[in-house]
Structure 1
Amino acid sequence: MDKLNLFSNLNTNKSIFNQLQAAREKFGAVDEADITTLPNDYIELENKVDALESVHKHLLKVTKVYENESYDYPVQFHNSISEQSGQLWHSFSSFANSNLKNVNIPQPTAPVPQPKTLSHALSRAAATSALEIGEIDHLGNALTKFALAHDKIGNGRLVQDNDILIGFLQPWQTTLNTSIQLAKNARSQVRNSRLWLDSCKQGLKTASPQKVEQARLEMESAEDKLVTQTETAISLMKNVLENPEPLTSLNKLVKAQISYHSASVEALNTIQGDLEDIQRSAEDDFK
C-alpha cells in the first residue's frame, strides 16, 4: 500500500510540475533555448494525423445522415395517415397483382409501418391516386406502374443506406475512435514527458550541491522516457497514416451509391417506355 501511495504521489507531483512548466512556457517565463524541441518528422506526422482526424470528422458528420431512414422524407408526411397505410397498400397490391402481368407483390396480412423515404412516399401517393381513379383509366394504369417503380427505388435506397452504414460509417468511426485516438493518446504522453524533462532541466539548474546528482539522474531518466514515448507515438501515427482502410471504405461508399442509382435509372427506364405507350393510347382515344 505504501508503494502504491508513493507511486500515486509521484504522478501527482509530476502532473503539478508539468502544469507549472506549461504555464511558464505559455507566459514566456522560459527561454526558447530551454524548451526541448521535438524532431521535425514527429511534428510533420502530428500535422498529418490532425488533418486525417479532421477529414474523418467532417465526412462522418455528413454521412451519418444515412443512419436516419427518413432523411429525404417529406416533413409534412411525418406522423400523417400515409404512414399508417398498410391497409391501403394491401388493396393496391391486390389490384396490381390482378391487373399487371408478371408482377408479384407480397400482401401484408395486417397494416405495417411503411418505410419513410421520398420514393416510398411517391409510391404510396401514386398508389392511392390509382385506386381513386380506377384500374381502367389510362392515368390510373400509369400511376400503378409509377408506384411500383418508386417502391423498388425506395427499397434500393434502404439497401444502399445499410451498405454505407456497414462498409463506410462503421469502419471510419472505428478508425476515429481507436487508431487515431491511440495516436493522440501517445502524443499526449510525449507532451507530458517533454514538459517533465524541461521541468527536470530547470530543477537541475537550481539544485543545491547536495541534490545535483539526484537532479541529474532524474533528468536523464526523463530524457530516456521521452525518447521511448516519442518513438512509440511515431510508430502509431505512421500506422494510422499508412493504413489503406479509409480508402477501402470510401470505395465501398461509392459502390453502394452506384448500385442504388443504377438500379433507380433502370427502374425508371423500364416504366418510361410503358408510360409512352399509355400516353399514345390515351391520345388515340382522345382524337
Structure 2
Amino acid sequence: MDKVSAFGKSIGSSFTPFATRTTQYVKEQLGQAEDRTQLPPDYIELEKRVDALKQVHQKMLQVTTQYSNESYDYTNIRENITDLGRSVSEKIQLLSTATSAAEAQAALTAPPVAKPQPKTFAHAVARASLASSQLLQQQHSGAGEDPLATALEKYALASEQVGEARLTQDAQIQARFLAGWNTTLNTNLMFSTRARRSVENSRLLLDAAKTRAKGGMFKLPGKADQQHHEEAETSEDAKVEIEQAEDEFVGQTEEAVGVMKNVLDTPEPLRNLADLIAAQLEFHKKAYEILSELAPVVDNLQVDQEASYRKSREGTS
C-alpha cells in the first residue's frame, strides 16, 4: 500500500518536461485549462515588432534576390550559344581586321575565350546593335561609312558598358545587402524565435505545475491521517515546484526580451539598405555618364546625315 501512496504522491512529477508541456498545451487548445499565465504587455509588444521585422525581411528578400539572377531583366530563349559569343568590344576588334564578308561573319560568331556573354538586357541590346551595324555596313556601297551603322556600333559599345556596370551593381548588392539581410533573417531573428519558444515552454511548465497543485492528492480510503500528512508534504513540494517554474519563466522572459531588443536595435539592416541604394545610385550614375558621352556623338551623326540629305534633295530639285 505504501507503494501505491508513493505513486499517488509522485504521479505529477513522473512526466517528462516535454510530456508535461504537451499535455498543458492540449488542455489550453481544448479550453480545459483554468488559468494561463499572461506575458507582460511590453513583452507582447516586442514580439509584434519582431514579427513585423521578420515579415519585412521576407518580403524584401523575396524580390531583391533577383539580383542574384544574372538574366533578371532579360529572357530571350531565341538567343543561342553563337549569339552569346565574345564581348562586343572583342568582336569590334576582330571586325577591324576583317577583309571580307566571310571574315566579318566569323568575327561576329567567334566562340568565347573564357565564358559566354552575360545574359543581361543591356548586353543583349549591345549584341543586337553590333549585328545590325554589320548588316548595314555589308550592304553599304557609298563612300565613307553608313551613319546609322556607325551610330549602332557606338551604341553597342555603350550598351555593353552599361551592362557591365549593372553586373557590378548586382555583385555589390549581393555582398552588401542580400548577405546581411539573409544573416539577420536566418540568424538574429532565428535566435529571437528560439528565445520566445523557450519562454512559451517555461510558461507551459509553470501553468502545468499550478494545475497539478490545484488538482489535489490521489486519496485512499481509511488513511486520512497519513494522507493529510502526505497532502501537506505534496502541497509544500508543489509550492517549491511552482516557485522554481516561476523563476525559470521569469529568467527565460528576461533573456528573450534582451534578444528581441538586440534584434530590433541593431543598425545592420538599415546599413545594408543604405548599401543597396548606394549600389543602385552608382550604377545609374555610371549609365548616365556612358549615355551622356554617347548622345552628342550620335546627335552629330544625325545632324550631318540630315544636312547631307537636304543637300542631296536640293541638288535634284
**Same fold by TM (over 0.5)?**
yes
Distance in 1 (alpha carbons) for counterparts of 2:52 and 2:297? 51
Distance in 2 (alpha carbons) for counterparts of 1:87 and 1:61? 32
Distance change >3 Å, CA 212–CA 228, structure 1 → 2: same
Of structures 1 and 2, the larger Rg is shown by 2
Distance change >3 Å, CA 79–CA 97, structure 1 → 2: closer
Return structure 1 stretches of 4+ with deviation > 6 angstroms: none
Partner of 2:158: 149
Contact 2:81 2:116 in 1 (8 A): no
Greater shift in the superposed pair: 260-269 or 209-218:
209-218
Shift of 1:285: 2.0
Shift of 1:253: 0.4
Identity %: 39
Amino acid corresponding to residue 250 of structure 1 in structure 2 = L
Contact 2:206 2:242 in 1 (8 A): yes
Amino acid corresponding to residue 275 of structure 1 in structure 2 = V
Distance in 2 (alpha carbons) for counterparts of 1:11 and 1:138? 92
1:120-165 C-alpha deviation (Å, 9 max, x unpaired): 0000111111122228111110001100110100000000000100
Distance in 2 (alpha carbons) for counterparts of 1:268 and 1:151? 11
Are 1:18 and 2:21 an aligned pair?
A: yes
Shift of 1:112: 3.6
Contact 1:87 1:111 in 2 (8 A): no
Alignment of 1:108-187 (within 5 A): 110=113, 112-134=115-137, 136-187=145-196
Q: Secondary structure at the match of 1:71?
A: coil
RMSD: 2.3
Alignment of 1:70-85 (within 5 A): 70-77=71-78, 79=80, 81-83=82-84, 85=85
Q: Secondary structure at the match of 2:77?
A: helix
Alignment of 1:87-102 (within 5 A): 90-95=90-95
Are 1:271 and 2:294 an aligned pair?
A: yes
Distance in 2 (alpha carbons) for counterparts of 1:248 and 1:203? 51
Distance in 1 (alpha carbons) for counterparts of 2:305 and 2:111? 33
Contact 2:147 2:305 in 1 (8 A): yes
Distance change >3 Å, CA 274–CA 96, structure 1 → 2: farther
Are 1:258 and 2:259 an aligned pair?
A: no
Distance change >3 Å, CA 30–CA 149, structure 1 → 2: same
TM-score (norm: length of structure 1) = 0.87
Indicate the structure with greater helix content.
1
1:226-279 C-alpha deviation (Å, 9 max, x unpaired): 010000000000000010111100000001001101111121121111111001
Partner of 2:222: none
Greater shift in the superposed pair: 206-215 or 173-182:
206-215
Amino acid corresponding to residue 92 of structure 1 in structure 2 = I
**Structure 1: tracts of 5 or more residues without a match:** 1-9, 99-106
Aligned with 2:214 (options 183, 195, 205): 205
Are 1:241 and 2:250 an aligned pair?
A: no
Q: Secondary structure at the match of 1:253?
A: helix
Q: Secondary structure at the match of 2:113?
A: coil
Distance in 1 (alpha carbons) for counterparts of 2:87 and 2:190? 50
Shift of 1:93: 2.6
TM-score (norm: length of structure 2) = 0.79
Shift of 1:78: 5.0
Distance in 2 (alpha carbons) for counterparts of 1:62 and 1:157? 17
Shift of 1:119: 0.1
Distance in 1 (alpha carbons) for counterparts of 2:30 and 2:79? 56
Amino acid corresponding to residue 248 of structure 2 in structure 1 = K
Distance change >3 Å, CA 247–CA 241, structure 1 → 2: same
Q: Secondary structure at the match of 1:264?
A: helix
Partner of 2:59: 58
Shift of 1:96: 6.3
